[in-house]
Amino acid sequence: MRNQTMKASALVAAGALLLAACGTNKTESGGPAGGDNADCDTSKGTLVVGVIAPLSGELSALGLGIKNSTDLAVRQANEKCTIPGYKIAMDAQDDQKNPQQGAQAATKLSQDDNLLGVVGTLNSSVALAVAPILSQNKIVQVSPANTSDSLTKGDNPATPTRQFETYFRTCTVDSLQGPFAAEFLVGEQSKKKIAIVTDGLTYGEGLAAAFATKAESLGAQIVTRQKIGEKDTDFSSVVAAIKPFAPDALYFGGQYPQAGPMSKQLKDAGLDIPVMGGDGIYDDKFMSLGGKDGDYATSVGAPTDSLDSAKTFIEAYNKAGFKDGYSAYGAFSYDAANAIIGAAATTLNGGEWSADKREALVASVANYTGQGATGSITFDEFGDSTNKVLTVYSVSGGKWTPAKTGTYEG
């Protein structure tokens, strides 16, 4: 059994103690931007789709995109009377990208018998605390953003084992994203001396490890490996440690709040080299924090605005009037929420909801097939998305520009 499961159990107890102090963020999705249909029968009550994501703090741009896109799916389901007899509400909880906060949120949501499932989390490290709690309560979880392979297959790639029957995701994983980045940076950009920096968290470490293995197999040299704290902003000591190795690129395993300033500080110190990272740095705030032209990021899926399947989502999102953009994971969140809602409609089949139907709902999600904003939505035997598409973006003119879209073929 994974150590994280044991830690999460301890967090459950801590979360339970704080529940009395927790307010509610449940919203009845409706109104002029796309809400209730007066012709729908809602006499059976209200069902809930939960969200666990960072709604405040340095990653809130990503978290709010997850929340709003889930809200849009809920609004549309209410308009279409998707679950006969029921209205659907969203209950969004702020995990502040903190595993303990995530565990408290999962514990709180789990006490609602009308909870269908949860969209989230953003961070893989938070998911390691949240997934065991939801699994214990037989509550389905569909993440739009977790990319750590260990969440679905465990820590040994040679003997992959399903970790949580209740856990699914609509995005692809680091074991594909890291090598895809290496093929681009080494194979296409001819970078041969690469420094690696990580933030020590589950996501960053796993992504960087997958990148390094592939980069070395392609003939690149990893000249140095450095580690920073997840809240660091001054990277002068790391820059000083890297500089003597004269790398021609730096790969960062972490998020944009550190990647942006690091890129600027490297350049200011005379190391004007491309910084590349994963989907964790693919956000416009990377540039506002110091990311420069010539930097790169991979992200899951094809560019949302390039997909015919996403046009309806984008139009509806813009019409809904959300003040925050859908960001990197909006389309994946929309698809995650619709998978939960669609599977619930199949499970109930006109009948009534009760918490003892949660196991049947998990089975319905496992068998779910739908056409979503990101394309065809189905899950494999581990709960992973069957969509393996990835994109490399480059910063050009202060904006992210698609450089390559494809799948990692191995």
Check if the beta carbon of residue 374 is closer than 8 Å to that of residue 307.
Answer: yes
| Residue 25: pLDDT over 90 | no
Least trusted range by pLDDT, from 1-5, 63-67, 156-160, 313-317:
1-5
What contacts 116, CB < 8 A, 6 or more positions away?
A: 47, 48, 49, 88, 140, 340, 341, 344, 353, 361
Which pLDDT score is estimated for 202? 93
Please check the confidence at residue 31 and state whether its pLDDT lies above 50.
no
Share of the chain above pLDDT 70, in %: 91
Q: What is the mean pLDDT of residues 246-258?
A: 97
Confidence of residue 120 (pLDDT cuts 50, 70, 90): very high
Distance CA 220, CA 294 (A): 19
Tens-digit pLDDT profile for residues 377-399? 999 999 999 999 999 999 999 99
**Which domains occur in the chain, in start order?**
3-171+306-379 (3.40.50.2300), 174-300+390-407 (3.40.50.2300)
Phi-psi region of 397 (alpha: psi -120 to 50; beta: other; left: phi over 0): left
Q: How confident is the prediction for the chain on average, in pLDDT?
A: 92
The predicted-structure confidence for 123-168, as pLDDT tens digits, reads as follows: 999 999 999 999 999 999 999 999 999 999 999 989 999 999 999 9
pLDDT band, residue 16 (cuts 50/70/90): very low
pLDDT digits (tens, 9 = 90+) for 301-344: 999 999 999 999 999 999 999 999 999 999 999 999 999 999 99
Please report which confidence band the pLDDT of residue 22 belongs to, taking 50, 70 and 90 as the band edges.
Answer: very low
| The pLDDT value given to residue 27 | 62
* pLDDT of amino acid 171: 97
pLDDT in tens, 186-243: 999 999 999 999 999 999 999 999 999 999 999 999 999 999 998 899 999 999 999 9
Give pLDDT, residue 37.
84
